[in-house]
Amino acid sequence: MELKNMDKIVNLCKSRGFVFPGSEIYGGFANTWDFGPVGVELKNNIKRAWWKRFVQEPPNSYGADASILMNPMVWQASGHAQSFSDPKMDCKSCKQRFRADNLVEEFSKGTVAAEAMTNEELEKYINENKIKCPHCGNFNWTPIRQFKLMFETSRGTLEGEKDVVYLRPETAQGVYVNFLNLQRTTRAKLPFSVAQIGKSFRNEVTPGNFLFRTIEFEQMEHQTFCKAEDAFEIYEETKKRALQFAEDVGLKEENLRFHDHDKLAFYAKAACDIQYRFPIGWEELNGIHHRSQHDLSKHQEYSGKSMVYVDPVTNEKFVPTVVEYAIGADRLTLAVLCEAYDEETLENGETRVVLHFNPAIAPYKVAVLPLQKNLSDKAKEVYSLLAKQFMCDFDDAGSIGKRYRREDEIGTPFCVTVDFETLENNTVTIRDRDTMQQIRLNISEIVPYISEKIIFN
């Protein structure tokens, strides 16, 4: 399959109100992006679909929403304060900064498992192979240094007195530290899951590629607490459900694949990513990890609070194991945009740009278009009726053909056109975005017609 063009997707996103460069009027702020009217709808719909699939539908699944700022001890216990960093090298000629593991991966075209190499091994490989700077082409590197990924800020109550606090680099810890509260209030028996959607922050060495890697992003994370002996089965089930969700939200099977990690964290028993074929190549979409008892044990050690679960049937006492599934909402939104983007040549030779979103996650479900301006009053009545049920667009400016094209470009699955026949018999046409076919329906039939087509199943 031909890879899609990222520049065209970025341009469409900017011109149609999906995503704008952050702080643009001040010249921007690198690798921050702001969601516009259709972008925020798309991302919210993706988050809702994820919540439905991972919190609403499965039994024994709950939601939480923890604070971004946490007691700094949390990051001591999790290990982030000590070791959440990437190996970076600077090019002394052009001053550009790179991740050493990425340099090796790109040079070896993925044949060398750079993530499993130590800094010494990375440096040796780069020197032996004389890997040049991808930006200026020189071979003039600084030694590797570890680059801290957590953003620090400070909280002071008295002038001059400041305590360092961190912007969380992942949401998962908010669930782990609440394990006792969550288990007590839900009275859930193992295995049970807790999901959370929220902002995370990482001072990335090499952010870029639009929404793919940013310094502030949303994560959707799902932790299953279980007995150690059940964890591998749950890990496999989680892999399947994560893949199914990616397909259901609109990503094609042929553009998704599992990638087992070459190097496991010392505590992990298994770890893999689902990769998506982005326009920049196969890249991680989400991670799934069997994390053993590490997280709760560490919080037990650092907080002094027992994280022991007592099995109500066997009376066994143990610290639960965690299976985690984590996916970036922004990265998934990018994948969905890439998959949906299409350029079609029409019979008249014109090109139409269309976003073939799954209707369940499309920003607007329906657009109401009066054929002519003097039909606007009737069209507004139809809009008011539909807007009670769905996110609806209204457009009465320009030729009907151009308006259909605009709706195609933001992926609106249905266009309702109010014409002169509407005034006579209360019927409208409904145009399908993908087939461009139109049918005629009574106004009272529109809501049920659309409702059954936009369910996320």
What residues make contact with ligand ATP under the rule CB under 6 A? 170, 202, 204, 213-214, 217, 219, 284-287, 326-328, 330-331
Q: Which is nearer to ligand ATP, 286 or 422 (CB)?
A: 286
- Rounded distance, CA 169 to CA 216, Å? 9
Nearer to ligand ATP by C-beta: 133 or 271?
Answer: 271
Report the residue number, 180 or 268, with the smaller CB distance to ligand ATP: 268
Q: Which is nearer to ligand ATP, 97 or 402 (CB)?
A: 97
> Which H, E and C letters describe the chain, residue by residue?
CCCCCHHHHHHHHHHHCCEEECCHHHCCCCCCEEECHHHHHHHHHHHHHHHHHHHHCCCCEEEECCCCECCCHHHHHHCHHHHCEEEEEEECCCCCEEEHHHHHHHHCCCCCCHHHCCHHHHHHHHHHCCCCCCCCCCCCECCCEEEECCCEEEECCCCCCCEEEEECCCCHHHHHCCHHHHHHHHCCCCCEEEEEEEEEECCCCCCECCCCECCEEEEEEEEEEECHHHHHHHHHHHHHHHHHHHHHCCCCHHHEEEEECCCCCCCCCEEEEEEEEECCEEEEEEEEEECCCHHHHHHHHHHCCCCCEECCCCCCEECCEEEEEEEEHHHHHHHHHHHHEEEEECCCCCEEEEECCCCCCCCCCEEEEECCHHHHHHHHHHHHHHHCCCCEEECCCCCHHHHHHHHHHCCCCEEEEECHHHHHHCEEEEEECCCCCEEEEEHHHHHHHHHCCCCCC
Which residue number has the CB closest to ligand ATP? Answer: 328
Q: What does the alpha-carbon distance between residue 199 and residue 68 come to, in Å, rounded to a whole number? A: 7
Give the residue with the Cβ less far from ligand ATP, 45 or 214: 214
> What's the min distance (Å) between Cβ of 40 and ligand ATP?
17
Closest separation between CB of residue 325 and ligand ATP, Å? 9
Is the CB of 170 or the CB of 419 nearer to ligand ATP? Answer: 170
Residue 170: CB minimum distance to ligand ATP, A: 6
Q: Rank residues 170 and 396 by Cβ distance to ligand ATP and give the closer one.
A: 170
CA distance 27 to 454: 39
Residue number, 125 or 217, with CB nearest to ligand ATP: 217
Q: Nearer to ligand ATP by C-beta: 16 or 202? A: 202
Distances, alpha carbon 374 to alpha carbons 140, 209, 377, in Å: 68, 45, 7
Q: Cβ(251)–Cβ(244) under 8 Å?
A: no
C-beta of 198 vs 359, nearer to ligand ATP: 198
CB of 268 to ligand ATP, least distance (A): 11
